[in-house]
Structure 1
Amino acid sequence: MSAPRTDPTAPLSNRHAWARFRWIMRWVSVTAIAAVGAALFYLWADGSPLTVAVIIATCAGVSLSVLVGGGLMALIFLSSGSGHDEEVGKIDEPAEDPSARWDRRDR
């Protein structure tokens, strides 16, 4: 596991990335509520019977779909903003002491 990012020259700090993640998730939650309302309005306007089961299934299906999609998008921004994406491409320098290698195999 890598150490937390402490580079002061980084454009976005972890705190800023998490704040942006929470901000995005707030708007995704508002969007999910609006999507549930729109779906229920559509079912009502269409003349579909709105039983308790239909309302619960619609609320659960629409809200979870919007929240999962928005949450995954927000995680992409969190990963990019916290510096995890840049660390993937870095190659560690080989250890000078052969006994310090983690795999212990001969080359």
Structure 2
Amino acid sequence: MIPRSPLDDPKQAAHAWARYRRLMRFMMGVTLAVVVVAMALLYKHNGFVSIHFYIATALGIGFAMLLMSALMGLVFLSSGTGHDATIIDPLEDDADNKDDPKD
């Protein structure tokens, strides 16, 4: 039988997703701050090179940071709610037998 995930409960799921959204809002603010600082430092050291340079740099930093925060946020959501503990590991019996000294 497949165990129920804590995220199947609507109240727990709503709480977990609200926490995830709060984390993403915070990381959006951090990302914007990092992009602004990076743009200021690039302009200070290089002057105006090309608008395309600044657009590409801002998009690259922003996309990388937001993707990292989204994926890590999902890891925290899964682990924090106990969703990870509800899996069925089909190889669990094989791992137990491998450690058995009788084999």
> Is the TM-score greater than 0.5?
yes
Q: Which residue of 2 aligns with 1:65?
A: 64
Residue deviations 1:23-80 (CA, integer Å, cap 9, x gap): 0000111111111101101101112434210111011101001101111111111112
SS in 2 for 1:13: helix
Cα RMSD after superposing both structures: 2.6
| Aligned twin of 1:20 | 19
Aligned length: 87
More helix by share: 2
Report the equivalent of 1:42: 41
Q: Which runs of 5+ in 1 are unaligned?
A: 92-107
Structure 2: tracts of 5 or more residues without a match: 91-103
Q: Are 1:51 and 2:64 matched, yes or no?
A: no
Change (3 A) 1:2 1:60: farther
The answer to which structure, 1 or 2, has the higher relative contact order (CA under 8 A, 6+ apart) is 2
Q: Contact 1:31 / 1:66 at 8 angstroms: preserved in 2?
A: no
**Greater gyration radius:** 1
Change (3 A) 1:50 1:31: farther
Q: TM-score, normalised by structure 1?
A: 0.68
Percent identity, aligned pairs only, is 33
- Inter-partner Cα distance in structure 1 for 2:79 and 2:17: 11
TM-score under structure 2 normalisation? 0.70
